[in-house]
Each structure stands twice: as C-alpha cells, then as structure tokens.
Amino acid sequence: MSAVPAVELLWWDGCPSYDDALADLKRVLSEEGVSAAVELVEIESFEQAASERFPGSPTIRIGGEDIVPPGDGEPFTLTCRIYRLRDGRVSPTPDPEDVRAAVRRAKEDT
C-alpha cells in the first residue's frame, strides 16, 4: 500500500452530497492502493467557513491542497459546491476521475 499526505473531506450538513463524495473518495483510495484515513471536518458556521477557506460542501483536500481548486473570487461560505463532471454536466460531487488524478499526483509527490 502507498501513502499520501493527509486526506480531508470538509462538509456542511445543509448539503446532502457528503455521503456520495466520501464513498467515491474511499473507493478511489482503495483502487489506487492508498492507505490513508479520511479526516472528516464539519463546517458549522460562516465564520468557520471563512477561516477554513471553505468554498462549499464537499471539499476534498490532500496535503492541504483542494483537489479541484476553486476559482478566483469564489466565496468561502456555507453552500453546496458546484462541480463539473468531465462530460460537462453539473454535479454536487467531484468527478471520480478528478479524485483519482489528485490521489495519483499525491502519490507521485510523496
């Protein structure tokens, strides 16, 4: 099994996408042979969203880096995050292949 830096999933309970995102993340980590515990961080206030630089739920960070970096000027707030799948569709969760690419980058950098 490989190791990668800390894997975090930041979430807010006003958005129901957390379970799907966590399932995708764990599946990709397993498929990539990575032994990493996922630290779950609940964001509960606008103040915490600002201090954690939380652009919305869910946000996945590996080694402190957002796997899908938010655009310039994107607010840090309690919201559901808008992702684009690789086929162009809007989704409340990142494309699993984007998750996989981030995990592979982290493996290469470790």
Partner 1 sequence: MIAIGESAPGFTLPDTDGVEHSPQEDGITAVVFTCNHCPYALAWHDRLTQAARDYPDVRFLAINPNDAERYPGDSFEAMKERVAQEEWTMPYLRDEAQDVARAYGAQTTPDIFVIDGEGRLRYRGAPDADHDDPALNAAWLREALDALLAGEEPQRAETPPKGCSVKWKS
Q: How far is the CB of 87 from partner 1 (least distance, A)?
A: 10
Quick one: 37 or 90, whose CB is closer to partner 1? 90
Contact by Cβ (8 Å): 11, 52: no
Cα–Cα distance for residue pair 30/17, rounded to 1 Å? 20
Phi, psi of 108 (to 5 degrees): -65, -35
Q: Is 81 in the site for partner 1 (CB under 8 A)?
A: yes
Cα–Cα distance for residue pair 16/54, rounded to 1 Å? 16
Quick one: 69 or 73, whose CB is closer to partner 1? 73
Q: How far is the CB of 46 from partner 1 (least distance, A)?
A: 8
Q: Is 90 in the site for partner 1 (CB under 8 A)?
A: yes
